[in-house]
Amino acid sequence: MKGEITSLDVAHILSQYIPLDGSTILSTMEEGCRELAFNPAVWILALKQKLAGRQIALVTANMDVFTKVVVPAHKLDRIFDVIVNSADFHEIRKEFLWPIAFDQLDDGIGYTNSLLIEDGESEAVRFRQLGGLAYQYSTDKAFSKWTQSTDWSQSPYG
């Protein structure tokens, strides 16, 4: 995920252990990426934010296949104004990736007026320490309950 090896490298490594050639493994990995599903409640919130005219960013720790396959296959660049993938920046620590996203968004967008939706506890804690609002995602049901119970009228997020 730091971009030190590529998905093609991984496919070639795997081909040494399973009876498939690297290109077959790579195409299978890429097909799986084209078929992946997103958490519906989070996806709906992202769409609502986009339709409300807010800029939204996707900051993720993923391999190169995310940028090469997932983004175009799912047209993520139509929803997210900025997409920052760890492999593209050779950095896995999101506390270094978030400022890259902020720099690409409109002036004035930073921690104090941003919402992070994250499945990892440490990233959510760190984002809050830096002044942002963070929700630690566990399930769509819990996330939907949280979005319904939050007073979005007093928030720059809703």
Sign of the Cα torsion 48, 50, 54, 57 reads positive
Residue 22 lies in a domain: no
Q: What angle do CA 78, 38, 80 make, to 5 degrees?
A: 25
- What CATH number has the domain bearing residue 71? 3.40.50.1000
Residue 33 lies in a domain: no
Concatenating the DSSP letter of every residue in 38-68 gives: --HHHHHHHHHHHHTT---EEEE---HHIII
Residue 31 lies in a domain: no
Helices (H) and strands (E) in the chain, counts: 10, 4
Residues of the chain with pLDDT under 70: 151-158
Which domain does 45 fall in, by range? 38-154
Domains contained in the chain, number:
1
Which pLDDT tens digit goes with each residue over 60-96?
999 999 999 999 999 999 999 999 999 999 999 999 9
Phi/psi for 34 (5° steps) reads -70, -25
Residue 52 lies in a domain: yes
